[in-house]
Homo-oligomer: A and B are copies of this chain.
Amino acid sequence: MVGMTPLSPGDQLADPPSSRLPADHPGVNELFALLAYGEVTAFYRLTEEAKMAPDLRGRISMASMAAAEMAHYELLHDALESRGVDVVPTISKYASALDGYHRLTTPSTWLEALVKTYIGDALAADFYLEIADVLPDDVADVVRAVMAQTGHSQFVVAEVRAAVTKSTKQRSRLALWSRRLLGEAITQAQYVLAEHDELVDLVISKTDGLTQLAGFFDRLQRTHDERIRELGLA
CA distance A56 to B43 in the complex (A): 13
Query: Can you tell how many copies of this chain the complex includes?
Result: 2
Per DSSP, chain A at the interface is: helix
CA distance A74 to B68 in the complex (A): 12
User: A188 on the interface (CB 8 Å rule)?
Assistant: no
Q: How large is the interface on A (under 10, 10 to 19, 20 to 34, 35 or more residues)?
A: 20 to 34
Apart from A60-B73, A63-B70, A66-B67, 4 more pairs, CB < 8 Å: A63-B73, A64-B70, A64-B74, A67-B69
User: A59 on the interface (CB 8 Å rule)?
Assistant: yes
Contacts of A47 in B (CB 8 A): 43-44, 47, 66
The 6 lowest CB-CB distance pairs between A and B, nearest first, are A67-B70, A67-B67, A47-B47, A43-B63, A57-B88, A63-B70
Contacts of A71 in B (CB 8 A): 67
Q: Which residue in B60, B70, B88, B91 is a CB contact (below 8 Å) of A40?
A: B60
Binary interface encoding of chain A residues 72-85 relative to chain B, with 1 for a CB under 8 A from any of its CBs, else 0: 01100000000000
